[in-house]
Structure 1
């Protein structure tokens, strides 16, 4: 199957259980974790940066308050100049400042006369003359970011506590806005990275897809062995497969030699016996001659099965269907010359089947010979290819077979008409050969009026 066909069947990730799907899912998980970690890391850095900016602004305000703090006439606190510029002049804005010493207190205009609560700071944090960060609530319950400075008093004077605050939104808003932009950018980067991984995985697995096609070529008979030029990672596998193919070929040749010897040892005596019985001429001898002919048919059938089984499976070969049918047509037209058969062949040029040529001749010979024997004058052989198989249809205009008889005729040795020559092995042999190659054989009624035989063989 092509890459586009596999993608269409299994989607972008490939079919379930495939290496491509596993690699892409693993890469997607790693990329997702990496991008999430990057987002959190950058978010933490942005948070610290923006918090530093806010803290610096509040510290500047506190330092300005310290520089402008004056004792008021008659005691108390006062400022040398107005310190309520924007944004500390907007009521309830969250931008507040407050100076307190004992019972005296000064506050920004944004406090609107309210008191800014100062959280109790641990002793280790509330160091004198050091800015201390804190979080708290404002007079109206809003979340605030606080900076606190404690200036120790002189003599009997209590310490002065200066507080400046900013709304928590001043920190969250810029950080969230930056994170949204960052997430969009990282998402686009993640898509490009995943596309790169997809290309990398498909390029990396392309040799395996090529190896699959080469093995299919061996099954189809277009290749004898796998090419040695392969990526280093799959060379050991290719070497093992080629060694297995070579060993099977050697075993097949050895078995064929033994089968040929056995065939020669059996068929010669049978032929001599058949000639001797034919010359005798008596009815009893003619009956024995038919038995000898039947034995010869059985021996040839079982020797062929032994030869095929010695290969451990279907023989790796390719046979041109049109060429074999053309030769078969010439032979059968001579054999059945008395019937003047109109023999039609509708087979595309170059259509091949993954069968041993001898097995193909035996299957087609039995089936087409039956059609010629029972037809009234017309025989048609047609073939077409599906995704994985070649369907060969043999039709005649003879009497055909009723459905109950179709199962009977496929049993070895079964004959419906003893007056016709034959031994009842043609259809069963064709059926067994087709099944041996992973195909099938079915019987039906042809549009010519007689029997239609359809045999499926591997393409």
Structure 2
């Protein structure tokens, strides 16, 4: 835009400069005619010498001059005996005593640039009007020629400027690309903070990001410490309860002892996670999805043997999930257990890899859920049917675990007629 504005400005200046040169040349011709005018005894007009030098000697060239006083007139050889018509000037310009500009048309219809001088007559004599003209091409040709050269020069300058801007942007944005890569390393766990040595322009941004990372790390460590403290506070009562059940004969089938042992295993699991996170963050492990889904199908088929559930599995071999195996069992166990509880006879588990994520779809042919009910069951402790066993924590726990690994849980409609739970986890 700057080059375009510069080109237009230079073109306007060139136009005025060339027009000034032409006007000066025509004014010189008019003044020379005034100096050469001689009185004629017969009342006509005459010149002291010939004023038809080039280019005023070429017929139809557009370079004309003419002197007129009443009915008498003199013209250049280029007029070829014809008269030059010109517009009447306003009185202010006629009385100025200097040639005035005007535009007109030549005897053969060509466009002309005119300069006209009016000399008042003396003693009632008519005024003497002297006019000189140049063709419009005399102005348009040089200006267009100069503008073509100017356009080429500005185009070359524009190309160099554009290339310079590209180089400048690439060099200028290189620190931002490097900062993006460093942020990716922070997100992947390769580094804890951004390097403080940065260009001066982005150093405040890096400082704020590091402060945010430090704040998040502190808050996360406090949360993990609270989880560890809670787990430790529960371990002692569970150990006491386990010993009390071992000394009594009331728990004949061992159901309470198995329940206590399961609670103890879960507490130990969360303790290990809190401890590994406090040391430096637990590394994600590679968990084969098909194996865990197959194990859960065997267990849940026995638990719901009375319903005779038909399990439809479509999980490709080799599809691995990047999360803790026990967390995966807890998420899939809660979701498939819900499907088994509400289905009429069919449960389908399908999985596929989509980019860097694995999408697991757990569907049933049960009654399904409406939109309001689907959002309600994701709240902790919320149960839509109090007659069914459970505590209302299964779905919210699955949601929290999925979000912990950067995934999600969505409830949709299944083409089996019931509910479809879409579990997304990092592959």
Q: 1:244 to 1:207 in 2, by over 3 A?
A: same
Q: Secondary structure, in 3 states, of the residue corresponding to 2:91?
A: coil
Q: Distance in 1 between matches of 2:170 and 2:280?
A: 30
1:188 corresponds, among 156, 166, 179, to: 156
Q: 1:278 to 1:198 in 2, by over 3 A?
A: same
- Residues 390-443 of structure 1, C-alpha deviations (whole Å, 9 max, x = no match): 5499xxxxxxx99659x9xxx99xxxxxxxxxxxx999967752343222589x
Match of 1:48? Answer: 16
Shift of 1:97: 0.7
Matched, 1:120 2:89: yes
Match of 2:6? Answer: 38
2:185 corresponds, among 217, 238, 241, to: 217
- Residues 241-292 of structure 1, C-alpha deviations (whole Å, 9 max, x = no match): 2222223322333333333232122123313422442454665361221332
Match of 1:59? Answer: 27
Shift of 1:213: 2.6
Q: Distance in 2 between matches of 1:283 and 1:251?
A: 43
- Residues 125-157 of structure 1, C-alpha deviations (whole Å, 9 max, x = no match): 6433x3333333334554321123345667776
Equivalent pair of 1:221/1:316 in contact (CA under 8 Å): no
Q: 1:402 to 1:109 in 2, by over 3 A?
A: closer
Shift of 1:76: 1.7
Matched, 1:248 2:216: yes
Match of 1:109? Answer: 77
Q: Secondary structure, in 3 states, of the residue corresponding to 1:161?
A: strand
Q: Distance in 2 between matches of 1:80 and 1:156?
A: 24
Match of 1:286? Answer: 254
Q: Distance in 1 between matches of 2:216 and 2:40?
A: 110
What aligned pairs does 1:149-298 form with structure 2 within 5 A after superposition? 149-151=117-119, 159-278=127-246, 280=248, 284=252, 286-296=254-264
Matched, 1:319 2:288: no
Equivalent pair of 1:132/1:149 in contact (CA under 8 Å): yes
Q: Secondary structure, in 3 states, of the residue corresponding to 1:123?
A: helix
Match of 2:63? Answer: 95
- Residues 371-398 of structure 1, C-alpha deviations (whole Å, 9 max, x = no match): xxxxxxxxxxxxx9975x35499xxxxx
Q: Distance in 2 between matches of 1:316 and 1:53?
A: 84
Equivalent pair of 1:98/1:116 in contact (CA under 8 Å): no
Equivalent pair of 1:220/1:318 in contact (CA under 8 Å): no
Q: Distance in 1 between matches of 2:331 and 2:126?
A: 118
Matched, 1:137 2:101: no
Q: Secondary structure, in 3 states, of the residue corresponding to 1:227?
A: coil
Q: Which moved more, 1:284-293 or 1:218-227?
A: 284-293
Q: 1:37 to 1:367 in 2, by over 3 A?
A: closer
Q: 1:248 to 1:123 in 2, by over 3 A?
A: closer
Q: 1:50 to 1:272 in 2, by over 3 A?
A: same
What aligned pairs does 1:265-414 form with structure 2 within 5 A after superposition? 265-278=233-246, 280=248, 284=252, 286-296=254-264, 317=281, 319=283, 321=285, 360-363=324-327, 389=356, 391=358, 404=365
Q: Secondary structure, in 3 states, of the residue corresponding to 1:204?
A: helix
Shift of 1:224: 0.6
Q: 1:108 to 1:392 in 2, by over 3 A?
A: closer
Q: Secondary structure, in 3 states, of the residue corresponding to 2:200?
A: coil
Q: 1:431 to 1:90 in 2, by over 3 A?
A: same
Match of 1:339? Answer: none
Q: Distance in 1 between matches of 2:225 and 2:265?
A: 20
Match of 2:404? Answer: 436
Q: Distance in 1 between matches of 2:6 and 2:282?
A: 58
Unpaired runs of 5+ in structure 1? 1-31, 333-344, 354-358, 370-383, 394-400, 413-424, 443-453
Q: 1:151 to 1:290 in 2, by over 3 A?
A: same
- Residues 355-380 of structure 1, C-alpha deviations (whole Å, 9 max, x = no match): xxxx62533677999xxxxxxxxxxx
Q: Distance in 1 between matches of 2:363 and 2:7?
A: 76
Q: 1:427 to 1:113 in 2, by over 3 A?
A: closer
Q: Distance in 2 between matches of 1:428 and 1:117?
A: 95
